[in-house]
């Protein structure tokens, strides 16, 4: 089967592409390799994928409609699209909000508009985020909760992408599945994420910046569990025409427990500098994964201490 994966050199895109290639599929990978975080890490991921003969890579921006159109004309036999390309990062959206509109909205619209002309396309899976739940105080977050009160431009851009997807399903019958990811972590992860920043600070004997608050917690989801969840949806025979699923661990972990796990796995004590939490950051997240479990039987298996050990083993090896 032929897959198109945008953001193929990104964290989730890389792991998904690797899993699909290992199964003998053909993957068309697209990524602009921007410098939001180290392009060297993105290139290192891409180099691993290029070891597969059935991987084709194109460096381009998904918002570049003419360039994207030329690629899709070459690969008109694409059956599944995973649109995982995104401008990520909640705090960075305060500095450069236009980057989020460009990639997360215009880029997503470009994919939708071009995809509806692909003759063999079966479905689009696209990356949303737990951030769409915004100022919602009710935990756990359910797909049925309101998502019209975003706390950041990043969250607003992801909710806008969901609305565009529904519109294209309504107008053109494009079958689509939205994926609301909850704090994905693990080897080859993003250096802007808290667990990576904390590990780097501990390794360099620098203080960790930790937001104040007794309820500061996240639903940390290990990368291999995420990929298993995506594969379970991909192989599900009775997906609806349009739907959205939470992809989370469904377990609330205090951020301080994350630090404890890092200290144990790295055998080093962290120095902590506490500051006030900015209003762009949600205090707590927790996923209700009842919907995807009922549909596919998927549930995550990796405990936080296990996942952090896997991550730090990779982190120390990669940085050495």
Task: Tell me which residues are annotated as active site.
Answer: 154
Q: DSSP H helical segments within the chain, as ranges?
A: 11-22, 39-49, 65-74, 92-95, 97-100, 108-115, 153-172, 194-203, 223-234, 255-266, 290-296, 304-319
Query: What tokens were used for 169?
Result: 């399903």
274 φ/ψ angles, rounded to the nearest 5 degrees: -95, 135
CB 207 within 8 A of CB 201: yes
- Among all chains, which residue has been given the structure tokens 């199964």? 23
Q: How many CA atoms lie within 13 A of 129 on its CB side?
A: 26
59/34 Cα distance (integer angstroms): 10
In sequence order, the 6+-apart residues with CB closer than 8 A to the CB of 59 are 30, 31, 32, 33
User: CA of 204: how far to CAs of 48, 198, 200, 207, 269, in Å?
Assistant: 28, 10, 6, 9, 11
10/42 Cα distance (integer angstroms): 6
162/181 Cα distance (integer angstroms): 13
Q: Integer distance in angstroms from the first to the last C-alpha of the chain? A: 37
303/190 Cα distance (integer angstroms): 20
* Strands of the 176-181 sheet, one edge to the other: 55-59, 26-31, 2-6, 80-83, 123-129, 176-181, 242-247
């Amino acid at each position: 089967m032929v897959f198109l994966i945008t953001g193929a050199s990104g964290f989730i895109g890389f792991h998904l592409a690797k899993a699909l290639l290992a199964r003998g599929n053909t993957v068309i990978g697209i990524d602009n390799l921007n410098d939001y975080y180290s392009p060297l890490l993105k290139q290192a991921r891409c180099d691993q994928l290029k070891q597969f003969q059935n991987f084709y890579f194109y460096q381009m921006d998904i918002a570049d409609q003419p360039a994207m159109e030329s690629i899709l004309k070459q690969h008109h036999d694409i059956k599944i699209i995973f649109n995982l390309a995104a401008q990520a990062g909640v705090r960075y959206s305060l500095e450069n909000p236009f980057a989020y509109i460009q990639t997360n909205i215009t880029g997503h619209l470009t994919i939708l508009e071009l995809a509806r002309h692909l003759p063999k396309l079966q479905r689009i899976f696209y990356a949303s985020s737990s951030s769409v739940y915004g100022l919602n105080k009710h935990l756990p977050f359910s797909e049925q909760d309101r998502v019209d009160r975003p706390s950041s431009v990043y969250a607003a851009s992801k909710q806008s992408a969901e609305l565009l997807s529904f519109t294209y399903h309504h107008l053109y019958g494009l079958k689509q599945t939205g994926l609301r990811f909850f704090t994905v972590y693990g080897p080859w992860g993003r250096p802007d994420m808290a667990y990576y920043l904390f590990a780097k600070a501990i390794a360099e004997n620098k203080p960790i910046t930790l937001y104040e608050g007794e309820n500061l917690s996240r639903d940390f989801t290990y990368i291999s569990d995420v990929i298993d969840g995506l594969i379970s949806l991909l192989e599900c025979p009775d997906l609806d025409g349009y739907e959205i699923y939470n992809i989370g661990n469904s377990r609330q972990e205090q951020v301080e427990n994350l630090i404890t796990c890092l200290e144990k796995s790295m055998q080093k004590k962290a120095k902590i500098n506490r500051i006030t939490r900015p209003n762009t950051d949600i205090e707590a997240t927790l996923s209700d994964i009842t919907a995807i479990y009922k549909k596919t039987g998927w549930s995550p298996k990796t405990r936080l201490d296990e996942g952090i050990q896997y991550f730090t083993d990779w982190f120390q090896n990669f940085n050495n």
